[in-house]
Structure 1
Amino acid sequence: MSRQEQTSQRLRAGRLPEIADVPGLVEQVADMAVLLSADGIVEGISTNPESPALGCLDHWVGRLFSDFLTDESRSKFTARLAMMRDAPETDPRPVEINHVDNANWEAPVRYSLHRVGESGVILLIGRDMQPFADVQQRLLSEQVARERDAQALRGAETLYRVVLEASETPLVLIEPEQGSIRDLNSAAAQLLGSKVDTLRGTSFAQVFEGRKRGEFAEALKSAATADGAGGLDVVARRNGRVLQIVPSYFRAAGELCLMARVVAMDESDGAGPEFTNALAMLYAETGDAIVLTDAKGLIRDANEAFLEMVDAPQLRTLKGESLADCLVRGAVDLKLMIEGSARRGRVRRYAAQVKSVVGTRSAVEISATRLRLGGTEIGYGFVFRDVALREAGEAAGDAVAVDDEAMKSVMDLVGTASLKELVSATSDVVEKLCIETAVRLTSNNRVAAAEMLGLSRQSLYVKLRKYGLLNSSD
């Protein structure tokens, strides 16, 4: 049975009326119909009046159908026609192609292909896909807008997290109705004796001793709405610290939120912002030079007085350099001060000499302190005090006594020894004084004293034994 006979049998099955106006039926069912010859020439075309976007396409008649297809659609339509000819007994699947007709008109159409007779004529029944394309375009635009809004929301969330964590003020965000911790920063978690992830989502009242959820929530609301900056005195359950909770309301996106500032009451009252500002002003304006270094002695910060002391034009000239570069005895002095600070916590009135970037030297006394934060060593602080004028005055007073004593000793030896022996005895006295001074300056650190004097450790021990200084140095 041929395909036409099968079609006629299907049309005749049941009770159907005779249909005479087939072209009119096609126009009503589809958006457009195109009749193609075996050579692909448009022999007839009809468009549905309900689809004004298609317009009048009568000028297609007599021309190749492929002339009104995009390059991609042309190859797709040709492949579908080849499949139709190779399998004449199989109904071809619909094909979606894009029409072009001058630079201002383009339309996507979905065609179903139908054979007409045995001469190779093909009837294309088309459905205008432009409304569906418009819907898809709106959906795509909506999706892009949603992704853009989601990205902006993620950026705002990241900014919020960074600012909250970077704040040195202990802050806790609380759900006003449930009384649970919505969020908090590390500074607040440290005061409460726990971690951020552990406290987030828990009841705020359970963090403190002797507090019930309902009563504590009401107390927070009362303190937040009260006039003045009053707070609630509490005791942290995990570490027993005495704290004060200072709550305040704010509104975000129409939602009422509660934020509480946690203040440590067991610390000195001067540890507030005013005291911090006062310390910063003291650091910047004091006449004594102050230097902050890391654990290895590399300069991290220095005040203006130190820059003037070493004739440095600006801080970045010294930042990252070793403090030993600013000392005459260099690594010896820095090592002794760091070791003394690490062992005893601080070093007082360490005598040294500072050299400037232009080579000048000045005598100073240095106080060094180990800096710790939360049990972790973060570096060292050094305070330099210029003692050049004081030493000059002391030297003027002591010079006469020293000269008189030295002269008397030399006069006592004259006549009892030769000039060569006198010079040798004087050299021994000077050498002994220098060794005693080096041992005293290094707090009996013989390795540092030998390095200071430019001697080997063995040579220093020989001279200590020679002058009977082993016991005294011990």
Structure 2
Amino acid sequence: MKPDTIIRSLDSDAAAKLAMAAGDIAIILDKNGKIVDASGSVSAFPGLGNWIGRKWIGTVTVESKPKIEEMLEACRNGEPQRWRQVNHMSDGSDIPVRYFVIPLSDKGRMLALGRDMRDSAALQQRLLQAQQSLERDYMRLRQAESRYRLLFEMTPDPILIVETASGRVREANTAAHDLVSAKPGSLIGKTLSGLFEKGARDTLTRYLGSAITTVSPSPVSLRLAGSGTETDLSATGFRQDGTLFMLVRLSAADTSIDSRVGGAPVFDILNRMPDAFVVADKDMNIVAANAAFLEMAGAASLDQLRSQALDDYLGRPGVDLDLIRTQLAKHGVARNVGTVMRPGGGTDEEEVEVSAVQTTDDGEHYGFSIRMVGRRLRDISQVPQNLPRSVEQLTELVGRTSLKEIVRESTDLIERLCIEAALIHTSDNRASAAEILGLSRQSLYSKLHRYGLGNLVSQNE
């Protein structure tokens, strides 16, 4: 059956329903473009009833009028039609509608079928906003990447980005290439272990394994392959796109002292010394320390102490280090200064002797050699009757011993007499005695053992 035969068989109601099924609005126009009749949702097109009798071109916005004229002219001339979008004027926002004009055989009339495009326009607007947001994010990402790349290349520290699973270098800055004397870009894809001597590779593997599970592990010293240069390596793990990477920082060992005093063997000896050794900057903050100082301070690694104030651990705060600094300023050296060490930065104290020197370069630093003397003094003072018992006995020592020793004996005498008085006053209640003396219990017990006062009250009774 031919299509025109089907259309002729439709009555007016069926034709209207077919028109509405094809679009959201249907408008019957005469040959001059005047609206003869219109059908559509009143809620969707509030002014639809007022359109009848008006020119169709008068219901649209200014920019849409040329489109209306083109559609009407094409329909009159029997030219092929295509969908065109126009905007109807409304009290609120404009109503976008796509129209297709069909010529009717009745007195040159035309049928304009329209589809409401507001939902599509809103969707297009959201799509446009999403696209603009993505473009802004992309621009920010590009800018951040440019800043990162500039910072990565300009930093003086050799930096490597290493994929943990394969151990291969994914990125390396200019300083890293210069350190290993490699051509720019030649480190990418190489294994990290291949940059170091074979004997250091097991140490490197163990260190990288601990760096994944430990926060800020202490750097490890390794020798570069070929040049044999001593290099400090530190690493931090991070995850990106489901892959685990290591940020590896290299720093060549300082050779300014090596060339003068023998280099690595000297540092190894300092680290193995039984006496503690610590280096502080001009603000008396810890820069470096050997193993003996770490043990005295109760620290597991140097990272726990670096940049902390030295007087948190050594000396009476605001007193002893200032005294040592004054001696260094006057004489350039301080020898055998008696002070205390506080393990863990707490209140417990251990008697120590400190010798110190200072550098003369612009970046002023101080070096301290610390020796524990508390146990030695306690061992010497095991027999309490050897201590002077009065001021007269102290004055008798003049001429037989140095003033320094006399002052030390007088300090011991006063300390012992005060402890004896406190124990008698508290009926040998050591907790109360420690409180009135302003000592911790552990410090009081240490002094009781030193002066042999463990059974003082029972002896007096």
| TM-score normalized by the length of structure 2 | 0.50
